[in-house]
Structure 1
């Protein structure tokens, strides 16, 4: 009985968690409908609510924004909008900071989160997986001895929170596993072990 029960758990636990995560994402995106005037909302137009319609609308808006911003006139409009935002003192600091981070993270040629590394944290002798995000600024590097890198140490099982550290390059170990494999390893708390890459045969 125990064997069958565990087998059933192995089937239902991943499925349940996957459905729960999808419901959380769709439910969050559905909140975008609250931005619409009440007469324009689906429940007012057709008489009932459609789960997921807000998520679809959000994705379409993001896609259309990307299409518009990719052409000449859209780019000029975007620059005009950014120029307007940068004229507002408090909004300027927030917008520019967030934009710089998002450009770094999502740029196709960016180097953020492009490399998984092994670091000693939170104390020597205790190792964890982290991600290299760049290098310290010139001002900070001037106070550090030797070459250092900027490191993000994610928490488990939620990698969206973590710690930003600056560590000596010689004290970290570069890993061959991809960023996706490293994230799975972290989220699963070490249960999902990345496969070892096949050795390269030299001829």
Structure 2
């Protein structure tokens, strides 16, 4: 009986969490329907709500925004919009900060979260996985002697919260695993370990 119960948990828990995350995400994306005129909304057209329709609208808005932003006219509009926001004191600081973070995280040329690292945290002898986010900048770099890197140490099982640290380059170890593998390792609390990669040995003749 105990083995059946555990087996049932192993099947249902991941499935339940996956369904819950997807339903929550779709529910949030469905809020985009509020952008439509009241007479165009599903409740008026079909007499009831249609789950997922807002998610499709959200994806279309994102795709359309990206399509417009890639042409000359769209770039000029975005530049004009950013200049307008740059004249509002509080909005300027918030927008620029968020834009810098998003550009770093999602841009193909960005280096954030491109490498998984092994660091000692929160004390010597305790090791955890971190992600490289860049190098210290601004006045902070003037007070650090030697080579330092900026790292993000995520918490488990929720990697969206964590700690930002600046550590000596000599104290971090670059891991031979992808960011996705490292995230799975963190979220599973070390249960789902990445496969060990062995070097390929080839026979060569001199």
TM-score tier, shorter chain, comes to over 0.9
Question: What's the CA shift string for 1:45-67, capped at 9, x where partnerless?
Answer: 22110011111101110001101
CA distance in 2, matches of 1:127, 1:50: 48
Question: What's the CA shift string for 1:70-128, capped at 9, x where partnerless?
Answer: 11111111111111111111111111111111111111121100000011111111111
Question: What's the CA shift string for 1:2-53, capped at 9, x where partnerless?
Answer: 2222222221111111111111111111122233343332112221100111
Query: What does 1:149-160 align with in structure 2 at a 5 Å threshold?
Result: 149-160=149-160
Alpha-carbon distance, 1:185 to partner:
0.5
Divergent runs of 4+, >4 A = none
Report the counterpart of residue 112 of structure 2 in structure 1: 112
CA distance in 2, matches of 1:32, 1:101: 24
Report the counterpart of residue 131 of structure 1 in structure 2: 131
CA distance in 2, matches of 1:10, 1:99: 40
DSSP-derived class of the 2:122 partner: coil
Query: What does 1:68-147 align with in structure 2 at a 5 Å threshold?
Result: 68-147=68-147
Query: What does 1:1-203 align with in structure 2 at a 5 Å threshold?
Result: 1-202=1-202, 203=204
Alpha-carbon distance, 1:156 to partner:
0.8
CA distance in 2, matches of 1:67, 1:198: 43
CA distance in 2, matches of 1:40, 1:115: 46
Alignment gaps of 5+ in structure 1 = none
CA distance in 2, matches of 1:99, 1:183: 24
Of stretches 107-116 and 9-18 in structure 1, the one that deviates more from structure 2 is 9-18
Alpha-carbon distance, 1:138 to partner:
4.6
CA distance in 1, matches of 2:69, 2:170: 42
- Count, aligned residues: 203
The two structures have a TM-score, normalised by structure 2, of 0.94
DSSP-derived class of the 1:110 partner: coil
DSSP-derived class of the 2:109 partner: coil
